[in-house]
Amino acid sequence: MTDRDPLLMIPGPVELSPAVLRAQATPPPSHTSAELIAAFGRCLRAMRAIWGAPDGALPVILAGSGTLAMEAAVWNCAAPGRRALVVDTGFFSDRMARMLSRRGVSVDRVSATPGCAVPAAQVAAALDGHDLVAVTHVDTSTGVRADVQGIAAAARAHGALVVVDGVCATGAEPLHMARDGVDVVLTASQKALGAPPGLALAVFSPRALEAHAALSAPPPLGLDLASWRPIMEAYEAGRPSYFGTPATSLVLALDDALAEILALDEGGRVGVEAAWARHARVGEAMRAAWRDLGLELVPASEDIAANTLSAIRYPDGVGPELVGRIAARGVVVAGGLHPAMKDRYFRVGHMGWVSGRPGLLERAVDAVRAALAG
Ligand SMILES: *Cc1c(COP(=O)(O)O)cnc(C)c1O
């Protein structure tokens, strides 16, 4: 069982379900085995459902972390000399801006004070001939959720490609690529999807694939969609193929993790919509628990607070040593990450499998309460 001590409650990696744990513990299958081909194909089809992928979209699974998925989006969809607008809410949007700059893209930012979101109207007002808009769905450094739907609509109205970093959101916060008009949604296996770390996932819309086809110089071979597209298409069609060896054990674990999301059926909702509703309920309950302890949150208001993690200010007279005191009570939480305020708050992840385990969530709250008291 995974009711281990200490309980891992950081914003990724996360605790895994027993089935996911078992899946990754089997001997690694060959990348051309029937078992792996079937699992890989199911993962790609599950991604289409969970992402709400438009017709003609390309789901991709690479061995790597979320940062690699960001790099793949940048190299395949942005060309040197083009212009990008980055909705800058913290640590990971800053990373995205730096990646785009290195790609030779001219980057403008529309920035939020830490703990605030950037209203879609402010993004619309800043748009001025930009080819691409990048937004972090949940800013893991502040616990703030962006209005991706509003920002995507504004970007679309300007003809810009919309790239969403969904690393701390996809599978838990509402976003539907086709309905919301988003071109790339990328994530990593170890956050809201509830799988072990090591896989970079992204879905590219037909418009994103057109941007890739229009590149005058190709991306590095190992990142190029032209290298990986035939592989993904082969796996989805049930055929073996090879470009680079996939992380086969992790794909088996991902297969179970995504199947668990699609199998959810609660409160009149099924699949990813049930996962969204569950995370909304858990996020609200966790914020209420922190407030009951007299704690204040980093997000400036409830409507922009992410449901996948809580970013909590240290109370007066308490500092980063609290994280160690919580760990001494058997629960691992994370310190601050936003460079402007990292010593003033801590973070508790509550995404994935634990979102359906009230006892574990309570254990996390109890550990924080005890650490504050002692
Ligand atoms: C964790 C995270 C990343 C980076 O993912 P890695 O797997 O650590 O490389 C990027 N963006 C966001 C929003 C994240 O939460």
User: How far is Cα 269 from Cα 213, in angstroms, rounded to an integer?
Assistant: 38
In this structure, the residue with its CA closest to atom 1 of ligand 1 is 167
Ligand 1 atom nearest residue 200's Cα: 7
For the chain, give the mean pLDDT.
Answer: 97
Choosing from 71, 139, 140 the residue with most ligand 1 atoms within 8 A of its CB, the one to mutate for a pocket test is 140
CB of 372 closer than 8 Å to CB of 322: yes
pLDDT computed for residue 1 by the predictor? 41
129 φ/ψ sector (left φ>0, alpha ψ -120 to 50, else beta): left
Per-residue CA distances from 152 to 9, 12, 190, 299 (Å): 31, 26, 25, 21
Evaluate: CB of 72 within 6 angstroms of ligand 1. no
| Residue in 197, 238, 178, 217 with CA at minimum distance from that of residue 50 | 178
| E strand or H helix at 248 | helix 248-263
Ligand 1 atom nearest residue 68's Cα: 9
pLDDT computed for residue 3 by the predictor? 61
pLDDT computed for residue 354 by the predictor? 98
Residue 316's CB: how many other CB atoms inside 10 A? 5
What is the 88 CA–ligand 1 centroid distance (Å)? 15
| Distinct helix (H) and strand (E) counts, the chain | 13, 16
| E strand or H helix at 346 | strand 345-349
Q: What is the 3-state secondary structure (H, E, C) of 292-307?
A: HCCCCECCCCHHHECC
Evaluate: CB of 67 within 6 angstroms of ligand 1. yes
Evaluate: CB of 140 within 6 angstroms of ligand 1. yes
CB of 162 closer than 8 Å to CB of 207: no
Which amino acid makes up residue 313?
Answer: R
Q: Block means of pLDDT (10 residues each) for the chain, length 374 residues?
A: 79 97 96 98 98 98 98 98 97 98 98 97 98 98 98 97 98 98 98 98 98 96 98 98 97 98 96 98 98 98 98 97 97 96 97 97 98 93
What is the 74 CA–ligand 1 centroid distance (Å)? 15
What is the 67 CA–ligand 1 centroid distance (Å)? 6
> pLDDT, tens digit, for every residue of 229-261?
999 999 999 999 999 999 999 999 999 999 999
Evaluate: CB of 93 within 6 angstroms of ligand 1. no
pLDDT computed for residue 309 by the predictor? 98
**Structure tokens given for 157:** 């109205």
User: How far is Cα 17 from Cα 1, in angstroms, rounded to an integer?
Assistant: 9
pTM of this prediction? Answer: 0.98
Query: What percent of the chain stands above pLDDT 90?
Result: 98
Ligand 1 atom nearest residue 188's Cα: 7
> pLDDT, tens digit, for every residue of 148-175?
999 999 999 999 999 999 999 999 999 9
What is the 141 CA–ligand 1 centroid distance (Å)? 10
Evaluate: CB of 168 within 6 angstroms of ligand 1. yes
pLDDT computed for residue 374 by the predictor? 83
User: How far is Cα 156 from Cα 208, in angstroms, rounded to an integer?
Assistant: 13
Question: What one-character DSSP code corresponds to residue 240?
Answer: -
